[in-house]
Structure 1
Amino acid sequence: MVKKEEIQLRDPFVFVDNETNKYYLFGSTDPNVWGEGIGFDVYISEDLECWDGPFPVFRPSDTFYSKENFWAPEVHEYNGNYYMFATFLRKDNGKRGTGVLYSNSLMGPFLPHSEGPVTPEDWYCLDGTLHVDGAGEPWIVFCHEWVQIADGELCAQRLSTDLKHTIGEPVILFKASEAPWTTAFKHRRFPNRNNYVTDGPYLFHSQSGELMMLWASFIDHVYAQGIARSTTGQVLGPWVQEDEPLFRNDGGHGMVFSTFEGQRMLTLHTPNKTPLERPIFIRLEELNGKIIVRRDKDGN
C-alpha cells in the first residue's frame, strides 16, 4: 500500500468502478516516459489516499508497433468491455499517435485492438480520448502536436463502432492560441517561430448538462489546465474558451470524475518535471455556470 504522494505518475486517469466501490488509477507510469517504454500499471484505492499496486496491465510484445513514449492511457467502458486509448511513438515512421487496446478486465492484460494508431498516420498526434455522443456514436478527440504545426490543435474524428479505425477526415475544433490564457514559447528546435501547446483533452458534462472539454497548455512556460465549452452540446462545437485557466500551478493533463459520495473531482499531475510528478485530487464546484476549484472555509 502506498500513499498518493509516493506514486510517480503522469497523465492520471481515474476509472470509478461502481461494482466494487474502488478507484482504478491509470497513467504514464514508466520511470522515464521520454525513452523506451516498459508498459502501463494501475493502482487501486477505496479513498483516493492509499493505493494498492502497482499492478501491470500492459506490456508490449516484441512485435508491438512501438517501443518508446508510452503515454497517457485512458480506460473507458464501452459496450460491456474495457478499451484503453494511449499514445505511442510508431516504429515505422517515428511519429506519435493514439492506439486502442482492449481487455475484459480493468486489471488487464490490455492487448492491441486497433492495427496501430487510429490518428492520422502522417501527423504527430497524442492524448486521444473517447467521446460517445448523444446518438451513441464514438469519436476520438486528440491533439495535433505543436512540434509539427507550431500552434497546436484539438481535433475530433469519427470512430468505427468497434473502435478499430477512424471514419472520414479529422475536424479541427480549435487552436491553442485561441484561448485567452495560453502564451507562446520558443523552442531550441524551432528558434524562429512561436509555439502553442495543446495537451490532454478530456470531455465531460457539467451539472447543467453542457458539454465541456478540459485541456492543458502553458502560461509563461508553466503547465496549466483550462476549460472550453461546446455552444451546441455537440463534439464539433463551436467551442468557446474560458477566460481564465482552471489550474495554473505547474500541473495539467487532467480529467474529471465523481467520487462515490458525489463530489466532482479534478485529477492532474504536478509538478511537470520527471521524476517528481505526482497525481493530485482537487474538489470542483459549479458557480454561476462556471466550473471552479472548490475552496474550503479558510479559503484554501
Structure 2
Amino acid sequence: MRYALFTLALMAAPIVSAETPVAYQNPVYTRSMPDPGVLEHEGRYYAFGTTGSKPLADGRRFRVLSSDNLVDWQDEGGALVSPAGSEGHEFWAPEVVEHDGTFYLYYSMGTIDDLQFKIRVATSDSPTGPYTDTGTPLEDGAGAAFFIDGHAFQDDDGQWYFFYAKDFLDTESGYRAGTGIVVDRLIDMRRLEGKPQMVVRPRYDWTLFEANRTMSMYGGRRFDWHTIEAPWVVKHDGRYWCFYSGSNFGTEHYGIDYVVADSVTGPYTGQGQYARVLRGVPNLVRGPGHHSIVRSPVSEEDIIVYHAWNEDMTVRQMCIDPLTWTRYGPRCVGPSVGEVELK
C-alpha cells in the first residue's frame, strides 16, 4: 500500500467523536503540513505547520488546524501576521504554548541563501491567532547566527525552559560538525537567560545530512555535515526525555531518537546509534519526523504527531502514531500505513 491508497481510505472514513476509540489511517492531513507543532488547549488540539517563504491565502504565515480527536482536522487559516520587512524570508517550525492567558508562538525566520536564522516570538489572546510579532528575536547566549526549532517546556515548579537547535563546527570528543540541541532558561516568555547548555550533538553516521557540504556562511568551508534538530521534551517517570529528529529530512534515513536526563538542564545521555523511535521505510515512507507529542483524546497514551513525504515528494503530510514506553525506552509503532485505532 502506498500513500495514494491510504489517502483515499482516509477521505472515505467517517468522522467520530473523541469519547470513543478513534480509527485513523495516515496521513491524517493530506495537504502540506511540515513540522507540525501541536498545542492541546481546553480539550482541543491545534496544529501549526511551516509555510516557507509564501504566505497563505489570508496573507498570514503558518497554517493552523484544529481537531478534537487528532484524526479529523479543520483548517483555521494562517496564524502569524507577517512582520514588517520580512518579504523574501523563510518561516519555519512554529510551536505555540499558553502562559497566563497569552498564547506564545515561537518560530524561525531567516534567509535561505546565507542561512541567517533566528527564533522570534509572537503573541495572541486566541490559540488560532492572529499572532503579532513582539519585535525582538530571542538571543542565543553564544551569539549564533543560525538557530532554529524552538521548543518551550514548563517544568513542575512553573519555570519555563527553551530548547533549540544551533550549529557547531568542532569535532572534538567524537562530535560531528553540524546542528545540535541546547537548552536555556526563559527569564520570561520573550527573553532567554543567555546561558545555553548542551543537550545533544551528532556522534553517529545515521545523522549525516550531506557529505562534503559547502557552507557559505562559514567562509565556504566544507564539512561532512550532520543534523540533529526539532527538540520536543516529555517528563516521564521522573526523567526528562528530549526527543529529536536527525539526518536529511528528504530521505528515508530521517527519523526520531532521544536522549534522557534526571534534570531538565542535563546532562543528557543515551543517544542512539540509529533512529530508535521512528524512521523511514524504504519505498514506502520517507522523511518521518519533526514531531510533537501529545496525550491521546481517549486515553492516557502518548501520541506522536509528525510529518512524512507524499509519494511524489511534493508535500510533507501530517501523520500520527502511538508512542509506547518500553523497558528499552520509548518506541513508536509507526510509521503506520494501515488502519490503526487510538485506544
User: In structure 2, which of residues 280, 291, 314 is the aligned counterpart of residue 275 of structure 1?
Assistant: 314
Measured in 2, the distance between the counterparts of 1:183 and 1:70 equals 24
SS in 2 for 1:240: coil
Q: How many residues align?
A: 286
* TM superposition score normalised by structure 1: 0.83
Which is richer in strand?
1
Q: Percent identity?
A: 17
Tell me which residue corresponds to 1:9.
Answer: 33
SS in 2 for 1:226: strand
Q: CA RMSD in A?
A: 3.2
Tell me which residue corresponds to 2:196.
Answer: 170
Mean Cα deviation higher: 233-242 or 195-204: 233-242
Tell me which residue corresponds to 1:77.
Answer: 98
User: In structure 2, which of residues 132, 146, 154 is the aligned counterpart of residue 124 of structure 1?
Assistant: 146
CA shift for structure 1 position 105: 0.6
Kindly provide the amino acid, as one letter, of the partner of residue 111 in structure 1.
T
Structure-2 change in CA distance of 1:154 and 1:188 (3 Å): closer
Tell me which residue corresponds to 2:260.
Answer: 229
Matching of residue 198 in structure 1 with residue 228 in structure 2: yes
Q: Give the gaps of 5 or more residues in structure 2.
A: 1-9, 12-27, 171-175, 216-220, 281-286
CA shift for structure 1 position 73: 0.5
Matches within 5 A, 1:77-226: 77-89=98-110, 95-113=116-134, 115-119=136-140, 121-145=143-167, 150-161=177-188, 163-177=189-203, 181-183=206-208, 185-190=210-215, 192-206=222-236, 208-218=237-247, 222-226=253-257
Matching of residue 25 in structure 1 with residue 47 in structure 2: yes
CA contact (8 A) 1:95 1:122 kept: no
Q: Give the gaps of 5 or more residues in structure 1.
A: none
More contact order relative to length (CA 8 Å, sep ≥ 6): 2
User: In structure 2, which of residues 333, 336, 342 is the aligned counterpart of residue 294 of structure 1?
Assistant: 333
Structure-2 change in CA distance of 1:76 and 1:127 (3 Å): same
CA contact (8 A) 1:114 1:165 kept: no
SS in 1 for 2:36: strand
1:235-269 deviations in whole A, cap 9, x for unaligned? 23233324542111021111211122122101111
Measured in 1, the distance between the counterparts of 2:107 and 2:180 equals 18
Give the 4+ runs in structure 1 shifted more than 6 A: 146-149
Kindly provide the amino acid, as one letter, of the partner of residue 308 in structure 2.
T
Larger radius of gyration: 2
